[in-house]
Structure 1
Amino acid sequence: MNRRSLLLVSAVVMTLSAFGVDDEGARPILPDTSRVFDLDEVTVISQPKESYRMRMQPLSSSMYDEEQLNSLSIGDLRELSSYVPSFAMPNYGSRLTSSMYIRGIGSRVNNPAVGIYVDGVPIISKSAFNFHLYDIERVDVLRGPQGTLYGQNTEGGLVRIYTKNPMTYQGTDVRLGLGSHFYRNAEVAHYNKVNERLAFSLAGFYNGQNGFFRNQQTGERADCFNEAGGRLRMVYQPSDVFRMDYLADYQYVRQNAFPYGVMDANGTIESPSTTYQNNYRRNIFHNALNMKVAGRGFDFYSTTSYQLLRDYMLMDQDYLPEDYMHLSQRQLQNALTQEFVFKNNSSGIWHWTAGAYGSYQWLKTEAPIYFGDGITGPIGKGIHSAMYNAMIGSFMGRFIAQGMTPEQAREAAAAFIAQRGGITMDVKMEVPGIFRTPQFNLGLFHESNIEITPNLIATLGLRYDYMQTKIDYDTEARMAMTANVMGTEATYILTSVLKNTEKEHYNQLLPKMGLTYRFNNGNNIYALVSKGYRAGGFNMQMFSDILQTELNANSRNAMSGDYDVPHTDEDYERIAKTISYKPEVSWNYEFGTHLNLFGDAVKLDFSGFYVQIRNQQLSVMADNYGYGRMMVNAGKSYSCGVELALRGKAFDNHLSWGMNYAYTHAVFKEYTDTIEGVSFTKEVVDYKDKRVPYVPEHTFSANADYRFDFLSGALKSLTLGANVYAQGKIYWNEINDLSQPFYAVLGAHADADFGNIVLSAWVKNLTDNKYSTFVVQSAISGTAYSFAQRGNPIQFGVDLKLHF
């Protein structure tokens, strides 16, 4: 979709939204009784921490209900992120990789910068963030640090997902979908209110697709997937004083993954072509118990959860048809969380929340790396050459002593070696490893909202956050060198074993200070200062790089026998410094407004922000060989920008429209790095004033739906809608020489409502726009390549929704 098409869609949305204002724009014209309610005003959801509705808080946020999610054909958070200001969740090719960026803060590996809560339960594992959305009542996206109430790793923001409550929603929902590339979807949910005290819901889904891209090496679809799951929710409320809410959710996914192809200098992306077909399998199970006790003066909330993740990934890390290396990774995580919250329930000028949070997670990762002939072949040739030259030199000395010239001696030595079988060298290498990385987190928090005057509210919050993280690693590199020297075969094994435990502790105070001034018709302006924090940790991804460096440095030691590389205490101290990275800390300065315009026919939300970041965590390739990604800290960076959201209804609620825009300027202030330059020399690169990678400079979205009602016949209404989202410019590396220009993707849908049955036709990427969702650079093969994942091409389908 080109810029002209984008401007046309935007103009249509703005033109439709202009209805309701007279020619001079001086006073509202209200030809109908339209009114846009806040979603959290219509969808009543108990909030154990906040004292006010979202648009009454000093907060930049977006809310999406079931109707909006259906209109945009949203199936997961990655798809939703395209329609949220300042929010980016790129498609990295699997459910495993679910990195999120808000306001320029985020990273691809290790600790997330955005947290996720489902029905008040924090999702612990970042590997579980990208899951199928169904049975959803509402999704909230909160931008800016949320650490005071929600703890570490919510430095960029927070996503809150709510499923349907069987106490307030009953019946059976069925949704069936079919589309091009054999997209298929089936969802069933039943909601039953047994009596005034007990209700339950039971839901399940299956979702699959044959994919868009084919692996040219294996012939398989490179991005096909199948996933399924089920959810149980039980609500027991024997009185107004006590409520208990039990949740259990399981999802399984199996997919061919990471469909990366070589991208040339012109931006043309080839089809994926890998030796091994990348794939990913994941089981996630979450269950939780929420309890509320209403007391005199305050309410007490308790949330207890157990979470399990078990997954498997196979990745061809060179992304090439030649076999350089591939990784097999298995994760097993068990996590427990417990949170207690006290919130006052009395009227007055002081509204407060206080609580405590604790979590413990056990994570075991098995990540063996296997090196193919692309890596071991050159190593074997180097060793073969060294052995051959040494033997040639030895025999030459004998022949020269017999009276031959050096030239004659060399020829005779070569012939003598060849006659007796010559010399061959075969090298095999692998790096097995088991890593245990438990984490313990404790938080104590309080937030007060004080009504200084009826219109002026002060927000003061503080959290103490403590985390202990540990890595227990048991990994090694084995290089088996089998030499056949003139008919005699011998195998020598070079081994480097690393086994140790490292531990770190982090403490942090996370304050928040805000002022909100409210005026007529629910309008308000606000200013906010808050601190964000992302914990430090350890890079287990780069042990293969460390070990490979040691093997190459000691390969000559194993030419005459088995050899184990020795390690001293100083070696382990150096490794500890190499694998650790520091916490990221930021200060967010924000002002904004929430306005209800034209008799509540239009809602406007605006915010401006400036974020100072110290020790920003960045995901880069490991230094020496680039086999694995590692987290490093940039010295200082900053991010600033604006966010604007408009939504409204008109023509007696027949027209619904919305538009979002955000500008983000995320730049390094102090960041230097040492990279390998020409002739294997080390060069210092200064990234000052360079853009932070993976962060879109502009994010834009717009949508408009118009409903035609019919007074007679089976067809009750017909809704026609269009939507567009756009992002760019996006830089893919720190040096900023690789980027995705601004692009836009157009969609459309038509919904025929027959009462309890709704038939929808939809199309995504209507103009079949070509763009990249992700680009990574690698030089594993010895040649620098850029690999990209293409955005999905045009796709169309139909959905059938039933309620009875």
Structure 2
Amino acid sequence: MKFLSFPIMLAALSANAQKNNPVEEVVVTGTKRDQALQDVPSSVNVLTESDIAEAGIKRPKDFLATVPNVTFIEDNAGEVYVNIRGQTAVRNSDPNVAVVIDGVPLVSLKAFNQDLFDIQQIEVLKGPQSAVYGRNAAAGAIVITTKQPGDETEGSMSAGMGNFGSSRMSVGLSGPFSDELKFALSAATRETDGPFTNQLTGEKVQRYKTSLGRLRLFYNPNDDTSVNFRLAAHDSKGGGTAYNGQFAGVPIGGVPVPALDANLMLPFVSNVAGFSEEEMLDMALDVERQLDFGSIRSITSLNSFDQTFGGDGVPYIADSGAEGALTQMYTYDDEVFSQEFRVSSNADGRIQWMAGVYFLQFKRDQISELNQDVNGTLLRTRGVDGPDTIAPTASYTNSEFETTNYAVFANMQMDLSDRLTLELAGRYDVEKREVTEKAPEAFNLCVQAFSTPLSACNDSTTFRNFSPKASLIYLAGDDLTLYANYGKGYKSGGYNPLGSRQALITAGAGAGVDESDIFVQDQFEEEVSESFELGAKGKFFDQRLSVNIGIFHTVVEGAQQFEFFPSAGLQTVTSIDEVELKGFDVDFTALLPSEYEVFGGYGFTDGEVTEFAANPSFEGNTAPGSVKTTATLGVTKTFELSNGLSLTPRLEVTRYGSIWWDVANTPGTERDPVTIVDGRLTLAEGAQWEVALWGKNLTDEEYYQEVVPLLGVLSVNYRAPTRSYGVDFTYHF
């Protein structure tokens, strides 16, 4: 299929402007008030229910992959990172993007990477949203709204299968118990062997199986009161730590590795089989009451998330019995409680406002364990394994983290004239972080570093931050909006395992490493950003063409970065003093003659390390994790057939620019640009049923979606899926 050039497309739209079939009108809820997309003073990408169905979106990566200046990184052991406009998320640190499901922000993105079903709308808001959502929304927010039931009982069933032994199934049912009480019940399963096989063990290293379910109850005793309750759970199992190791000068699986090369595909040759297991239970209660002046709302949530995964240790080769050969296992037990109260004005006044308070209690029990790899055995026991076992423990940390957050927030929207609107927002967060090291004394880094009793291995600190945001919105015409905004973003600091720095200094001294070259501290500081944005949103040619443009400049102080020290079993966070990010993004949707729909977008981010006192030679390097360019172009059209049938082909091309992964810009670890082609062909009978043939990465592009450079001569890389294809069937009743 050949894409039209932009000038030809404009000419075609102009010639067809008299046809009244505009691009779908969208209402955005991510600002905590309902606003037309045209009126939101931020760059926003929205997928409606019809968009989700047409694109065959099943998982977060399916929609985030096509949003300009947004990248999504995942692995099969549950790690998830969402990067927006160069502001990156890293392991063992809080996210930089707030993920909000039915009004409740997730504390950890580990619980985000699940199958999506019964979704009403997905919104991606770029730029600082800390004034609205507080902690961990410095780069933006992803707002997901699930479907509410109607007045009639209805449901759907969906099933699919694909290569790599993949299959999926989901079912949903919703309707009324009575005039006041309605329900929505849904469940889904998915499993796959994944595309890659370990050459030694025969293990399907990216295998995955998950089951999940959700119950929602809606109670409306009268026109002024609504009560929404959500209960969700999932259980998943699969492979773990399925990475390729590159060690300069060491052949891997018969493939020579003379130097690090982020574009060299390597086989899986570990002799240790990995695993991952996770369970989540999530509950939320949302109560709203309408009053004469506006409304009051309470949102209460409770979440527990338990995860364990493990496998071979770096460098992921068959090295059992060799000196220093290790296996690794990590455990996370999370418990979260949050409560928000807010009061809002009516939406019909010249001045609209909202104010509220927020409370969060987050506890995490985290264990990192390295065991000697004597004979390729990975022990799944939780705790220290003695010297007489088949895999004695070599390193063990057990950190208990506790976060308590209090916040107050308010925002106001004032119409200065018929065309000019001012929006002001602010949020003040007080966050206390506590850590306790609970590992036995023989392995406790805190006891060893500070010669202190185990009972004294704890610390706490409190972070305080005010995040303001100001926006001006100007209606330049009925279908053209200009905006400017300024905002601050905030991500709390935290702790590495107590004693980490001293342990690394001690280990480095034996290897001739100077203390000044070790950047890790036991406590890492907060990350604060300041951002400016100018943008425009327009609809042209009788609203058949929708275009959104945003230009931004962001300065990040204390940009948090991940540092892994495999020999010590330490996963730590360090900070870059200052990173500067500047660029733009543009997206469009156009309805051409004959009802072809063309859509696309382009994002450019110039990220630079501008200050790094620990090693000034890194200043001027490309900011790690920042993809320089992203581009998407797609086309679709529905062809009406006989007997009520329709056929809809869809083709989408996405290109990611180059990316560096660490502040040092380690030679050989820059990934080359990647181009991905996806396609879908759907046959449907009205709203009754549909069958879709789909393919992802149709050109079978081979690349690493994540590279973790270590020590300048080693990197561990996570392979992206190769070509996949399959068929889906959906029936509505």
Q: TM-score range by the shorter chain?
A: 0.7 to 0.9
1:91-124 CA-partner distances (Å, limit 9, x unpaired) = 3333x21111111112222111011111111112
User: Which residue number in structure 2 is paired with residue 772 of structure 1?
Assistant: 704
User: Of 593, 600, 617, which residue of structure 2 is paired with 1:659?
Assistant: 600
Kept in 2, the 8 Å contact 1:88–1:100? The answer is yes
User: Which residue number in structure 1 is paired with residue 493 of structure 2?
Assistant: 536
Q: Does 2:700 align with 1:703?
A: no
> Aligned ranges for residues 231-270 of structure 1 at < 5 Å?
231-263=214-246, 264=257, 265=259, 267-270=263-266
> Aligned ranges for residues 41-52 of structure 1 at < 5 Å?
49-50=32-33, 52=35
User: Which residue number in structure 2 is paired with residue 599 of structure 1?
Assistant: 542
Instruction: Tell me by how many angstroms 1:240 deviates.
Output: 1.5
> Aligned ranges for residues 736-755 of structure 1 at < 5 Å?
736=665, 737=667, 738-755=669-686
Kept in 2, the 8 Å contact 1:745–1:767? The answer is yes
1:16 and 1:457, CA in 2 relative to 1: closer, same or farther beyond 3 A?
same
Instruction: Tell me by how many angstroms 1:611 deviates.
Output: 0.3
1:21-71 CA-partner distances (Å, limit 9, x unpaired) = 34xxxxx63253211123328xxx6x7822533430211110012332333
SS at match of 1:145: coil
> Aligned ranges for residues 127-526 of structure 1 at < 5 Å?
127-167=110-150, 170-263=153-246, 264=257, 265=259, 267-318=263-314, 319-323=316-320, 324-345=325-346, 347-372=348-373, 430-476=394-440, 478=442, 500-526=457-483
User: Of 38, 49, 52, which residue of structure 1 is paired with 2:25?
Assistant: 38
Whole-Å separation in 2 of the counterparts to 1:750 and 1:776: 37
Instruction: Tell me by how many angstroms 1:764 deviates.
Output: 1.0
Whole-Å separation in 1 of the counterparts to 2:645 and 2:341: 48
1:497 and 1:657, CA in 2 relative to 1: closer, same or farther beyond 3 A?
farther
Letter in structure 2 aligned against 1:177: G
Unaligned 5+ runs, structure 2: 247-256, 376-389, 444-450, 511-517
Letter in structure 1 aligned against 2:536: T
Instruction: Tell me by how many angstroms 1:356 deviates.
Output: 0.7
Kept in 2, the 8 Å contact 1:719–1:750? The answer is yes
User: Of 82, 87, 100, which residue of structure 1 is paired with 2:82?
Assistant: 100
Instruction: Tell me by how many angstroms 1:322 deviates.
Output: 1.3
Instruction: Tell me by how many angstroms 1:632 deviates.
Output: 0.9
Whole-Å separation in 1 of the counterparts to 2:716 and 2:90: 16
Out of 430-439 and 212-221, give the one that drifted further. Answer: 430-439
User: Which residue number in structure 1 is paired with residue 381 of structure 2?
Assistant: none
Kept in 2, the 8 Å contact 1:513–1:528? The answer is yes
Kept in 2, the 8 Å contact 1:731–1:739? The answer is yes
Instruction: Tell me by how many angstroms 1:626 deviates.
Output: 6.4
Q: Number of residue pairs matched?
A: 683
Letter in structure 1 aligned against 2:26: L
Instruction: Tell me by how many angstroms 1:285 deviates.
Output: 1.1
User: Which residue number in structure 1 is paired with residue 533 of structure 2?
Assistant: 590
Kept in 1, the 8 Å contact 2:217–2:229? The answer is yes
| TM-score under structure 1 length normalisation | 0.80
1:669 and 1:720, CA in 2 relative to 1: closer, same or farther beyond 3 A?
same
Kept in 2, the 8 Å contact 1:545–1:628? The answer is no
Rg larger in structure? 1
Letter in structure 1 aligned against 2:407: G
Whole-Å separation in 2 of the counterparts to 1:262 and 1:670: 31
Letter in structure 2 aligned against 1:432: Y
Q: Does 2:719 align with 1:723?
A: no
Whole-Å separation in 2 of the counterparts to 1:192 and 1:13: 47
1:763 and 1:202, CA in 2 relative to 1: closer, same or farther beyond 3 A?
same
SS at match of 1:21: helix
Whole-Å separation in 1 of the counterparts to 2:603 and 2:155: 39
Whole-Å separation in 1 of the counterparts to 2:232 and 2:172: 13
User: Which residue number in structure 2 is paired with residue 687 of structure 1?
Assistant: 618
Letter in structure 2 aligned against 1:464: Y
1:576 and 1:608, CA in 2 relative to 1: closer, same or farther beyond 3 A?
closer
1:169 and 1:580, CA in 2 relative to 1: closer, same or farther beyond 3 A?
farther
SS at match of 2:695: strand
Instruction: Tell me by how many angstroms 1:283 deviates.
Output: 0.6
Instruction: Tell me by how many angstroms 1:660 deviates.
Output: 1.2
Whole-Å separation in 2 of the counterparts to 1:592 and 1:361: 37
Instruction: Tell me by how many angstroms 1:769 deviates.
Output: 1.5
1:577 and 1:175, CA in 2 relative to 1: closer, same or farther beyond 3 A?
closer
Letter in structure 2 aligned against 1:104: G
Letter in structure 2 aligned against 1:726: R
1:650 and 1:238, CA in 2 relative to 1: closer, same or farther beyond 3 A?
farther
Kept in 2, the 8 Å contact 1:51–1:351? The answer is no
1:477-536 CA-partner distances (Å, limit 9, x unpaired) = 749xxxxxxxxxxxxxxx998551110100011111111101322421000000000100
Whole-Å separation in 2 of the counterparts to 1:315 and 1:512: 45
SS at match of 2:638: strand
Whole-Å separation in 2 of the counterparts to 1:335 and 1:34: 46
Instruction: Tell me by how many angstroms 1:187 deviates.
Output: 0.5
User: Which residue number in structure 1 is paired with residue 59 of structure 2?
Assistant: 76
Letter in structure 2 aligned against 1:708: F
Kept in 2, the 8 Å contact 1:496–1:550? The answer is no
Instruction: Tell me by how many angstroms 1:182 deviates.
Output: 1.4
Letter in structure 2 aligned against 1:347: D
Whole-Å separation in 1 of the counterparts to 2:101 and 2:371: 38
Kept in 1, the 8 Å contact 2:368–2:569? The answer is no
Whole-Å separation in 2 of the counterparts to 1:668 and 1:48: 31
User: Which residue number in structure 2 is paired with residue 379 of structure 1?
Assistant: none
Whole-Å separation in 2 of the counterparts to 1:270 and 1:145: 39
Q: Does 2:584 align with 1:642?
A: yes
Letter in structure 1 aligned against 2:606: H
Letter in structure 2 aligned against 1:286: D
Unaligned 5+ runs, structure 1: 1-7, 23-27, 375-425, 480-494, 555-574, 674-683
Kept in 2, the 8 Å contact 1:336–1:361? The answer is yes
Whole-Å separation in 2 of the counterparts to 1:295 and 1:348: 15
1:147 and 1:335, CA in 2 relative to 1: closer, same or farther beyond 3 A?
same
Letter in structure 2 aligned against 1:802: Y
Instruction: Tell me by how many angstroms 1:650 deviates.
Output: 3.5
Letter in structure 2 aligned against 1:638: E
Instruction: Tell me by how many angstroms 1:278 deviates.
Output: 2.5
Structure with more helix by fraction: 1
User: Which residue number in structure 2 is paired with residue 112 of structure 1?
Assistant: 95
Whole-Å separation in 1 of the counterparts to 2:508 and 2:501: 11
Q: Percent identity?
A: 20
SS at match of 1:69: helix
Instruction: Tell me by how many angstroms 1:595 deviates.
Output: 0.5
User: Which residue number in structure 1 is paired with residue 693 of structure 2?
Assistant: 761
Whole-Å separation in 2 of the counterparts to 1:695 and 1:133: 27
SS at match of 2:74: coil
SS at match of 1:766: coil
Kept in 1, the 8 Å contact 2:601–2:633? The answer is yes
Instruction: Tell me by how many angstroms 1:553 deviates.
Output: 8.6
Kept in 2, the 8 Å contact 1:20–1:598? The answer is no
